[in-house]
Amino acid sequence: MRGLGSVPGMRITKLGHACVRIEHDGAVVVLDPGVFTEAEAVDGATAVLITHEHPDHYLPAHLRACDAPVFTVAAVAARIREDAPDLLERVTVVGPEERFDVGVPVRAVGELHAVIHPDYPRFSNSGYVLSLGDTSVYHPGDALTLPGQPVDLLLAPVSAPWLKMSEAVDFVRAVGAPRSLGIHDRVYSEAGLAMVQTHMGNLLPEVQEFLRLADGADL
């Protein structure tokens, strides 16, 4: 594994909430541009990946703001059929462990959203491992599903109705990525996010680095 900063032609940008934009060798892949993300996130996108149907990850208006193909799970495709049938021709449905190419190789990981409350039904959710040359990046969506392979960068959820601080730390530990970037961060205040950073610093092993970035900042 090479340091992320040493990989030529790669740019990773943290955007609103759970959205991350990854540029590598001409591919511009945008993951989960939802209601907390500005539409500009998809400017120039060559592919959009959606993990699940919740509006903080999926917003039809953002998909209409570009002409990129959309890769997602069957449940999101069904929502698009209802919400925005004009987009259906651009949608490709992917399933667990499916491998596909969006300008970079991708593997779909997992199939269920984390439990919000036992009284709620479980939602479909797919994480994605992207291979950027020798560097791998994992976006789990709203789940704590392990990637099933070593990854160099984990896009780590840090705040959610389904997530405790201890679970967030244990997930980062279990994935074991040398670097983790905090995402899914609009549920907490700035004070709460500072607490997350403190706990990650105290509880992660020294070989694991946890990072926070402002929206629009590059890794």
* Closest among 25, 73, 85, 21 to 47, alpha carbons compared: 21
| Structural domain containing residue 154 | 4-211
What pLDDT band is residue 217 in, cutting at 50, 70 and 90?
Answer: very high
CA distances for 33 relative to 73, 121, 134, 186, angstroms: 15, 24, 26, 13
Q: What is the pLDDT of residue 3?
A: 43
Give the pLDDT confidence of 166-192 residue by residue, as tens digits.
Answer: 999 999 999 999 999 999 999 999 999
The answer to whether position 62 is within a domain reads yes
Strands across the sheet containing 153-157 = 99-101, 105-109, 127-132, 135-139, 153-157, 179-183, 209-211
| Closest listed residue to residue 36, CA positions, set 218, 216, 219 | 216
User: Is there a domain that residue 217 lies in?
Assistant: no
Residue 28 has pLDDT above 60, yes or no: yes
Helices (H) and strands (E) in the chain, counts: 4, 13
Tokens representing residue 39 in the block: 């539409």
> pLDDT confidence of 1, banded at 50, 70, 90?
very low
Q: Quick one: average pLDDT of 133-157?
A: 98
The whole-number pLDDT of residue 8 equals 61
CATH no. for residue 27? Answer: 3.60.15.10
Question: 192 is written with which tokens?
Answer: 């709460």
What SS3 class is residue 48?
A: strand
Q: Classify residue 165: in a domain, yes or no.
A: yes
Q: What are 178's two structure tokens?
A: 């040398």
Whether the CB-CB separation of 159 and 188 falls below 8 Å is answered with yes
The residue-averaged pLDDT of 29-53 equals 97
Residue 2: per-residue pLDDT: 40
Q: Is residue 218 part of a domain?
A: no
- The DSSP symbol for 159 reads -
Write down the pLDDT at residue 7.
58
216 inside domain: no
Structurally, how many domains does the chain consist of? 1
Which of 106, 111, 18, 96 lies closest to 69, judged by CA?
A: 106
Q: What count of other Cβ atoms lies within 10 Å of the Cβ of residue 100?
A: 14
Indicate whether 45 belongs to any domain.
Answer: yes
pTM to 2 decimal places = 0.95
Is 166 domain-assigned? yes
